[in-house]
Amino acid sequence: MAANLFPAFIKLSGRPCLVVGAGPIAEAKITSLLEADAHITVVAPNASQVARELAASGRIAWLPRVFLPNDLDGIFLVVAATSSNEVNGAVYLEAQSRGILCNSVDDPPNCDFYFPAVVRRGALQIAISTSGESPALAQRLRQELEDGLDESFGEWVQMIGAARREIRATLPESKERKRLLHKLATGDSHEKWREANENVRPEEMLQIDATPGAREETAEAAAKR
């Protein structure tokens, strides 16, 4: 039975993360950590061209040698991504002894967490996991979701976020405010936003989605600020 997982989105910005391995297996993991603005150190005797270029540009630190236990000093999270099960296992065991979260690539029993298949549309992120049972299925589901969510979703999410802040600032807590916040997140709201050529300011999102009464209440509350 696959372990029950706790789904979470973790802020890694500035946090020290270690990747053991710098070949093709490790590249995708390094890229994922970079996208989260992690502070990345890579330990590997040899590195792929991509890893070398990242190191040369200063985006990662590369230590060209084998893994040593003290490489985990001060590390928040580690990924064991070599082609050697023995090395990956040694990294996992050392991480366990220190209470450090570890992902051992393609070795579910030696993982504290998994890298999900992720759909990204700006601030919108949808993560899919099969608890390591079938990464291929997770990738297929990711593709289906990507096909159904066009790139405009990212801008729309950003816009409704700004409109949400405007609503919370101008309307007192009420059923109407709750209704309006939920209305902003509907598919109808997205379609109306697209029909407006996507060139809509946050305050105009309120006009797209509010009922006449809500629009009047919003305008009156804004005038009193």
Strand partners, 78: 18, 102
Our count of domains for the chain comes to 3
34 with 110, same domain? yes
Predicted pLDDT at 213? 47
d(Cα 23, Cα 20) in Å, to the nearest integer?
Answer: 10
Predicted pLDDT at 1? 57
Q: Which long-range contacts (CB under 8 A, 24 or more apart) does 2-5 make?
A: 2/108, 2/130, 2/131, 2/132, 2/133, 3/131, 5/113, 5/114, 5/129, 5/131
Q: What percent of the chain has pLDDT over 90?
A: 48
63 with 86, same domain? yes
- State yes or no: pLDDT of 209 exceeds 60: no
The mean-pLDDT minimum among 6-15, 34-43, 91-100, 171-180 falls in: 171-180
88 with 142, same domain? no
**Three-state secondary-structure class, residue 67:** coil
- State yes or no: pLDDT of 219 exceeds 80: no
Residue 3 counted as domain residue: no
28 with 60, same domain? yes
CA distance readout (Å), 170 to 103, 164, 186, 212? 45, 10, 21, 16
Mean pLDDT throughout 175-194? 82
- State yes or no: pLDDT of 137 exceeds 90: yes
98 with 20, same domain? yes
Nearest to 83 by CA among 67, 100, 62, 106: 106
Name the token pair of 145. Answer: 């979701």
- State yes or no: pLDDT of 196 exceeds 70: yes
29 with 111, same domain? yes
Residue 10 counted as domain residue: no
Dihedral over Cα of 25, 28, 32, 37: its sign: positive
Mean pLDDT throughout 200-210? 60
161 with 182, same domain? yes
- State yes or no: pLDDT of 224 exceeds 80: no
Predicted pLDDT at 166? 85
Task: Give the CATH number of the domain where residue 46 resides.
Answer: 3.40.50.720
192 with 218, same domain? yes
Mean pLDDT throughout 133-147? 90
Range of the domain at 207: 152-224
pTM equals 0.74
171, exposed or middle or buried, with CB in 10 Å at 0-12, 13-18, 19+? Answer: buried
The DSSP code for 214 is H
Mean pLDDT throughout 76-80? 98
Task: Give the CATH number of the domain where residue 120 resides.
Answer: 3.30.160.110
- State yes or no: pLDDT of 120 exceeds 80: yes
Predicted pLDDT at 198? 57
Instruction: Measure the CA angle with vertex 172, ends 168 and 177; round to 5°.
Output: 65
Residue 161 counted as domain residue: yes
